[in-house]
Amino acid sequence: MRSRFDEQLDLLNKEMITMGALCENAIAMSAKAVAEGDLALTESIPALAEQIGQKEREIESLCLKLLLQQQPVAKDLRIISSALKMVTDMERIGHQSADIAEIVRMANLKVGGDTEEVRNMALAVIKMVSESIDAFVKKDDAMAQAVIAYDDVVDDCFDRVKKLLIGRFSQPGIDGEQTIDLLMVAKYFERIGDHAVNIAKWVVFSITGSKG
Amino acid sequence: MTKRIFRSICFVAIAVFLASLILIMGVLYSYFSGVQQRQLQMQLELAAQGVTNEETAYFSDLTVRDYRITWIDTDGTVLYDSDALSSDMENHLEREEIKEALATGYGESKRYSATLMDRSLYAAQRLEDGTVLRLSIAQSSILTLVLGMAQPISIVIVLAVVLSVVLAVRLSKSIVKPLNEIDLDHPLSNEGYDELAPFLRRIDSQQKQLRRQKTRLEQKQAELDTIIGSMSEGMVLLNEHGKIVSINPAAMALLGVEKSPVGADMLTVSRNLSLNDILRQTLQGQSVVETVSLETGQYQISASPIMSEGKVAGAALCFFDVTEKEKAEQMRREFTSNVSHELKTPLHSISGYAELLQNNMVKQGDIVPFAGKIYREAQRMTSLVEDILSLSHLDEGAEDMEWIEVDLYELAAKAIAGLEAEAKAAEVKMSLHGEYCSLHGVPQLLHSILYNLCDNAIKYNKNGGEVTVSVERQDADAVLTVSDTGIGIPAQEQARIFERFYRVDKSRSKEVGGTGLGLSIVKHAVLIHHGAIEVDSAVGEGTTITVRLPI
């Protein structure tokens, strides 16, 4: 009985990592699309987001099955319930990556000096997502805490991008739509950073049992 | 061992003891019974005499201690009994000894009491008047005797047991001692029981065999470990659940893990989706070969399932580093497309101008400038083809070139002289410093180094700029420096300027001419001379290129 439970927990772990990897891919691709204006890349992101959504449903049903059939307690219960919450954040990451791709495609964002800050911000967010999933894989409390702390860096990045874009409005003959689109892209990245923080918090919860 | 010896000893001791007890008891008991019987008979005779002579008076003054005396009438009624009242007693006619005495004149019998604890011996004699006188004596039965001896017997048995325990322990110890002392690591060096010799010889030979096999196995394992450990290809073995069974250092390095992840899931080591896709297919029983880009580079992964009894028992992954290959492949593709592009551009101009001329659409006065343009483009193509040829010649290693002693300073002077016209046109001042420095080299290649470097220094200079060439000797090297006061090269581009057809500023290339192959040729030529080339440049200030050639 227990060994079957262990097997299912193992499967849950694997599925979570796979979903994490899909999210990493999605955000890396959307960041690349922003940085290089690669329209071909934007085509494949919605499909990836769809795949992430599919994974979310799979993991949810697996978690519910585990909760009902095995009635886990203590650490097992924490792992399963935090997995249930984490997939929601991961799904949002996938979805928002697709939204970024959508903006890049519709607005045909031009690559230029202004996107440099956004690119840095994207790199910081990718690092956060990657490390939050790493923390989950390695069950590393300290790493998860570092991700939570790193959110300030991303927030600073967002502030800088915002100031930069405000500065752009004061110049004559600017493309207002482009500027606002860039701001939205930056906001989406900032949101993804928040989701990474949520994932890291759930990782901390599943390890220590305390909700920081 | 001790137990068995004890049991045997104990059994023997008790058996011997019991046998002698039975024997002695049997013999003695029958002997004493005989004696008693004879005494009884004698007493009976005496008593019979007494009774015959004195009649009842005999009984009145008879004091009987050991014997019981009974006088029985012919009809069996008891006339007198020394133990009980005669009137209480039953008719004794049916008693065996009485019957016998009545018949023969004398009879005897033995009877056990109800408890078997006592035995009575009876002897009866018929008197002259026909009455029977019976004498009986009580005798202890064997059982009583034995029971009487129970204490000494049990003492003896306990003693026997104790003694056999002691003996058994000592005996088994002395038997086992040589066995325990056998040194099984060196079976042949033992002295002890001769009976064990074949056994020990067998152990010895098996030990030798084991040692040989172990050494062979260890050697094989070490060989395998060394091969897998030192090969530059990454290698990972997985079980059927995708957990890592074995991983070599190369694979750990390329997957970017520090701790040995043996036992962990492959997914926790690398979240690369295409790698895990390959793994999934492999664990379903397919062999996959695919190129995957990991963080550390491009790898061709060859994954094959390990089959056992028709089922997938695991997977073996081999990582081949194809980063360089992919890069080379890409460079080759770029080169081909660059060459075609570079060759096509002048051809387009030539064919365009030529078409205009052919269709007589050119005014008389324009013919000469048009022809000039065609000539210049043709010249450009020629120099391009020449450059490509000399590059491919250098690629081949330039083996057929002649190595002689040449003087670098003289060659530099010649190259500067050859470029004087260009320098004048670009308003650039050229100067040569240094000393004569002869070295062993290929004059054509050294000339193309100098020519290309100086040509670039003029081309990418400012009006009124300067080009300084110096040749000097440093230790075992001839050092050639070409510095200009030109536009300079941005730091991030410096690594790429030696690539074929690479231009820092693509928009200016048409204007300044050149093929984009010059520095590539220089680099190759320097490499063929086993030299080194360095770039030092600042944007807007100028560029210094230093070439060191061993003498």
Pairwise CA distance, residues B393 & B520, whole Å? 12
Pairwise CA distance, residues B270 & A89, whole Å? 22
Reported as a single tens digit per residue, the pLDDT across B451-471 is 888 888 888 888 888 888 998
Q: Is B272 on the interface with A (CB under 8 A)?
A: yes
pLDDT at residue B329 above 80?
Answer: yes
pLDDT at residue B484 above 80?
Answer: yes
Reported as a single tens digit per residue, the pLDDT across B290-322 is 888 888 888 888 989 888 888 888 888 888 888
Q: Is A163 on the interface with B (CB under 8 A)?
A: no
Helix A39-70 with A74-107: angle, nearest 10 deg: 160
User: pLDDT tier at B215 (50, 70, 90 boundaries)?
Assistant: very high
pLDDT at residue B85 above 80?
Answer: no
Whether B267 and A17 lie within 8 Å, measured CB to CB: yes
Per-residue model confidence (pLDDT) at position B209: 94
DSSP assignment string, B491-532: GGGTTTTTSTT--SSGGGHHHH---S-HHHHHHHHHHHTT-E
What's the gap in Å between the CA of B276 and the closest CA on chain A?
A: 9
Whether A18 and B267 lie within 8 Å, measured CB to CB: yes
Coil vs helix vs strand at B550:
strand
Pairwise CA distance, residues B444 & B403, whole Å? 10
Per-residue model confidence (pLDDT) at position B507: 65
| Residue numbers in B near A24 (CB within 8 A) | 271
Dig out the tokens for B41 from the structure: 């008979």
What's the gap in Å between the CA of B266 and the closest CA on chain A?
A: 9
User: pLDDT tier at A111 (50, 70, 90 boundaries)?
Assistant: low
Is beta strand B466-474 parallel, antiparallel or unpaired with respect to B429-434?
A: parallel
Note whether ipTM > 0.85 here. Answer: no
pLDDT at residue A44 above 90?
Answer: no
From the list A10, A13, A24, the residue facing B271 with the nearest CB is A24
* Burial call B130-153: b when 16+ CB within 10 Å, e when fewer: ebbbbbbbebebeeeeeeeeeeee
Per-residue model confidence (pLDDT) at position B102: 82
Residue to test with chain A: of B239, B241, B268, most A Cβ within 10 A: B268
Least CA distance to B261: which residue of chain A?
A138
Residue to test with chain B: of A17, A138, A203, most B Cβ within 10 A: A17
Pairwise CA distance, residues A100 & A42, whole Å? 9
Considering just the CA atoms, what is the radius of gyration of chain B in Å? Answer: 66
Which position has the higher pLDDT, B137 or B507?
B137
Pairwise CA distance, residues B125 & B127, whole Å? 6
| Residue numbers in A near B295 (CB within 8 A) | none
What's the gap in Å between the CA of A137 and the closest CA on chain B?
A: 6
Length of chain A: 212
| Residue numbers in B near A17 (CB within 8 A) | 265, 267-268, 271
Q: Is A13 on the interface with B (CB under 8 A)?
A: yes
| Residue numbers in B near A18 (CB within 8 A) | 267, 271, 273, 276
pLDDT at residue A180 above 70?
Answer: yes
pLDDT at residue B2 above 80?
Answer: no
Q: What is the mean pLDDT of chain A?
A: 84
From the list A10, A13, A20, the residue facing B271 with the nearest CB is A20
Range A50-60 average pLDDT? 89
User: pLDDT tier at B214 (50, 70, 90 boundaries)?
Assistant: very high
pLDDT at residue A126 above 60?
Answer: yes
pLDDT at residue A54 above 60?
Answer: yes
| Residue numbers in A near B273 (CB within 8 A) | 18, 21-22, 25
Helix A2-36 with A39-70: angle, nearest 10 deg: 160
From the list A17, A22, A25, the residue facing B268 with the nearest CB is A17
From the list B267, B272, B273, the residue facing A14 with the nearest CB is B267
Whether B271 and A14 lie within 8 Å, measured CB to CB: no
Which position has the higher pLDDT, B395 or B388?
B388
Residue to test with chain A: of B240, B267, B270, most A Cβ within 10 A: B267
Among residues of chain A, what percentage have pLDDT more than 70?
94
Q: Is B273 on the interface with A (CB under 8 A)?
A: yes
Per-residue model confidence (pLDDT) at position B212: 95
User: pLDDT tier at B217 (50, 70, 90 boundaries)?
Assistant: very high
Per-residue model confidence (pLDDT) at position B134: 85
pLDDT at residue B213 above 90?
Answer: yes
Range A87-92 average pLDDT? 90
Q: What is the mean pLDDT of chain B?
A: 83
Reported as a single tens digit per residue, the pLDDT across B377-393 is 888 888 888 888 888 88
Least CA distance to A137: which residue of chain B?
B268
